[in-house]
Amino acid sequence: MLELEHTRELLIEMGLVSAAALLDARLEAAAKGELTYLSFLSGLLDAERQERRRRSEEVRIKLSRLPHRKTLEEFDFTFQPSIDARQVKELSTLAFAARKENVILLGPPGVGKTHLAVGLSMQALRAGLTVYYATLPQLIADLKKAEQTGKLERRMKAYLRTNILVVDEVGYMQLDRQAAELLFRIVCTRYETGSIILTSNKFFTNWGELMSDAVIATAMLDRLLHHAHVINIRGETYRLKDRAKAGFVTVPPAAIHPAVL
C-alpha cells in the first residue's frame, strides 16, 4: 500500500490532518458503498472542514474566558416574562454584532443577565466570531496592573480586537477616577468598531455615582447607548426558584436587595 502511505503523507504535508486520519476508513466505506470519486472526495474534505471548525470553536471558547458554556436554548423564557423572547431571538442572529451594536442587560441579581450574555456569546462563537469576557472588577484590576507595569497599550488591545466584548457585573463595584477613565477608553475605542455586551444591576441614572464622575458617566452612556439593544429584566431571581424547589424558605428578592435598582 505504498500509494496509500504516499497519499496520507501528502495530506499531512498540506495540513489536512483530519482527512489523513480518516483516509483508511473513508476508502473502505467508499469501496463498500460504491461511492463516486467525487462524493468520496467531497466527503473527506467535508470531514476535514468540520473538524477544523470544531477545533477553532474550541480554541475561541477557551480564549473567550467565558465563566461557563450555557446556551440560549437552556434559558427558560417562561420563567422571565419581562424578557421579550423575540428580541433575544433577533439578537441571536448576530446582526447586532455585524452592525457593531451593543447589548445592555439590566436587572437585579439572579434574573439571568450573565446567562443571556454567555448564551449570545456562545452563539457568536459557534458562528465563527471572537468573544472576550470579563467582569468589570476583573477588567479594571487587569488594566490597572498593566498600567503600573507599562503594558497598558498591549492589554487594551486584548479588549479591543474581539468581535464582542462582554463586560459583566457593572454596578457592584464603585469605580475610582482612574478605573472610570480606563472603562471610558474601552467604550470609546470600541464605539462603532466592535460590540459590547454589558450587564448591570444599576439603572443608568445611578452611573454618575457609580463612576465617581457624572461627566465621564454621561459621555460613556452616550456612546454605549447610541446603537444599543437594552433588555430590562424585572423578575424574580432564578436562584431562589431552585431553593424553593429544594424546600428552603424563600425571601422575596426585594427584601434581600433593597438597594438594587
Is residue 121 within the footprint of ligand ADP (CB under 6 A)?
no
SS3 content of the chain, % helix, strand, coil (to 5): 60, 10, 30
Q: Which does 80 bind (CB under 5 to 8 A by kind): Mg ion, ligand ADP, none?
A: ligand ADP
Pairing of strands 164-170, 102-106: unpaired
> Is residue 114 involved in binding Mg ion (CB under 5 A)?
yes
Give the long-range contacts of residues 83-86, CB within 8 A, separation 24 or more. 83/112, 83/116, 83/231, 83/233, 83/235, 84/231
Closer of 136 and 216 to Mg ion (Cβ): 136
# residues contacting ligand ADP (CB under 6 A)? 15
Least spacing, CB of residue 171 vs ligand ADP, in Å: 11
Pick the stretch among 82-90, 108-116, 128-136, 171-179 that binds Mg ion (CB under 5 A). Answer: 108-116
238 part of the interface to ligand ADP, by CB under 6 A: yes
**Exposure on the CB side of residue 160, measured as CA atoms within 13 A:** 19
Write down the residue that cell numbers 424574580 correspond to: 236
From 105-113, 143-151, 155-163, 211-219, give the range in contact with ligand ADP by CB under 6 A: 105-113
**CA pair distance 30, 150, nearest whole angstrom:** 59
Residues that bind ligand ADP (CB under 6 A): 70, 75-76, 79-80, 107, 109-115, 238-239
